[in-house]
Structure 1
Amino acid sequence: MKYLISFLLLILSFQDLNAQTLKLKPRKADALTGTAFAKSISDSTLMLKQREEIIFNEIKNGNVPNFLRKLSEVVDSIKIENQIARVSYYALPDYFCIGSDDDYFYVPMTPILAQKVADLTKCNLPTKKMVDNIYKSASIKLTPQPIPPTKAMTTLPIFIAHNDSVKIQLKPYLSKHNNSALTAGNKKDVIISNKIYTEKTPKVVIYGWHKMDGKAIQPVYNKHTNTWADYSHGIRLIQQKVRVEENLEGKTDQRSRRTTIKKLLKNPILYKLLSDEGVIEKPFYPLTEYGID
């Protein structure tokens, strides 16, 4: 009986990890489409904080496409002390957007809002290493489409223009994309990094926008404050719970266990599964007040 209970608990543990869906309310039939939502926040008199409160409420109420709700498994492995260790985690199949499967809007966010959404959905933002691994694993890889930098790059008209250009790129992959195929190359990532906290003012750290040769256009960059969000920024959430397997080459003492991204990033040895910049003691953004960049 004791062994049966242990077995059932193990099965439930795997089922819990493999609940590969975004934890949000169902989308209402009368929810705004992406086009309508983008228009609703295009008022130039709307302050950043007001805009992000509207975005958060829309997400909290479940106005997110169905294709974004089915998470994609991503696996990575490394050699630690002559043994193979492997991690598996579940990521959004595309960058965060609002609206329906047929009409959605990629919504750039400050890291303040991104962290709030991550907390709401029991998720984390990725590290640089995770971004690289997600790109390698993606079945849909899009060519980055930078817009020349101007003061307008943080405004809704540019957000909408870039959104439309990405959706044109996705047309040949429409069926695959709307079935939650892992997609990358269309945005830079807002990432978790030790560089968030290296200066007095909290920063947003961005990385990625991989070209078709696998090289990232954007190196790790932390020169914007945490109130910055431009058209190129994408938010890719990762489910907090991960599965770690150790000693895969050994005939004995093989271990498989469930943990979280936060715990793994603080582990003095196993952090290497998720981070190539060392242990990350604060794998999150501060929810500080909005200021002026």
Structure 2
Amino acid sequence: MQVQKADANHQITGTAFYKTVVSSAWQPRDSVAIAAILAGDIPDFLKRFVRINTSIIDTAGKTITAYYFVSPDYVSIGTNDDWARIPLTPMAAQIIADSLHCFLPTRKMVDDIYTQAKVKLEPVPMYAFRDSSITMWQHHLIIEGQRKGRQGLIAGIKKDVVLSGKISRDAKQNRVAIYGWHKLDGKPIQPLYTGHINWWVDYSHGIRLVYQTIWVNGKPMHYTDVLKDVTLQKLLCDEVWCDCYRY
């Protein structure tokens, strides 16, 4: 699966991005990131999406198989030689996802992606200035030190911003749902959580993109149609409510 890059006369590097937003709050950081990504300022490896397989057994005992394609890493900005992962609010993530005909994963999809990931790294928690651009940049550099150049679908390095039926049912409005950051034993540090306001974003958050077409028994379907089907939704969602489709 190939994501097309927009034409651009200039490409910002990951280093330059973080220098630009070093003292910024979330609004200007989101704004600069959206502009860069919509201009195509992403490394080439992020354009080659990776297939994820899944299956369920329906009430009649029949196996239903499906697959979909996900970005091999979290949303990043930069060139092939100088790029960086960029934590974003779900509002910014949705704009970027829409521009690439993608959506954000569910809790189940995050688990399936982790299981099928080629590169699994131990999470590295950080404790000071969690929402600062400097800490986000430092966390990216730590992950790259762990990765040591290994290539392929990577997981275990971030908490995913996810779609969840808990968002609309939370007692407080304007929530963001996060989940994941799996340890090497496969257990997530972060359970499904909607306790943060939607503009809160810190170094540990990551945006994984999923192409909007799901192939179910070989037939292409839009992800919203899969989630609306009482049987097929279990291919993508393990919650009681699977009716959250976007931010």
TM-score by length of 2: 0.95
SS at match of 2:148: helix
The structure with the larger Rg is 1
SS at match of 1:153: coil
1:187 paired residue among 158, 162, 174: 158
Contact 1:35 1:103 in 2 (8 A): yes
Does 2:123 match 1:131? no
Contact 2:57 2:63 in 1 (8 A): yes
Q: Deviation at 1:213?
A: 0.8
Q: Deviation at 1:172?
A: 4.5
2:196 paired residue among 211, 214, 224: 224
Contact 2:18 2:134 in 1 (8 A): no
In 2, the alpha carbon distance for the partners of 1:24 and 1:120 equals 11
Q: Residue in 2 aligned with 1:84?
A: 63
In 1, the alpha carbon distance for the partners of 2:212 and 2:160 equals 17
Does 2:235 match 1:283? no
Contact 2:26 2:201 in 1 (8 A): no
Q: Residue in 2 aligned with 1:3?
A: none
Q: Deviation at 1:27?
A: 6.2
Does 2:243 match 1:266? no
In 2, the alpha carbon distance for the partners of 1:258 and 1:278 equals 25
Q: Deviation at 1:258?
A: 1.0
Contact 2:52 2:68 in 1 (8 A): yes
Map 1:167-178 onto structure 2 (within 5 A).
Answer: 167-173=144-150, 177=151
Contact 2:21 2:28 in 1 (8 A): no
1:232 counterpart letter in structure 2? S
Indicate how the Cα distance of structure 1 residues 96 and 137 shifts in structure 2: closer, same or farther if over 3 A, else same: same
Q: Deviation at 1:104?
A: 1.0
User: Deviations along 1:166-225, whole A, 9 cap, x unmatched?
Assistant: 01111151xxx2xxx111111110000011212341211000001111111110011001
1:53 paired residue among 28, 31, 35: 31
Specify which structure has the higher proportion of helix: 1
Structure 1: which 4+ aligned runs deviate by more than 3 Å? Answer: none
Structure 1 unaligned segments of length 5 or more: list them. 1-19, 246-255, 286-293
TM-score by length of 1: 0.81
SS at match of 1:154: coil
1:235 counterpart letter in structure 2? I
Identical residues among aligned pairs (%): 39
Q: Residue in 1 aligned with 2:138?
A: 161
Q: Deviation at 1:266?
A: 1.1
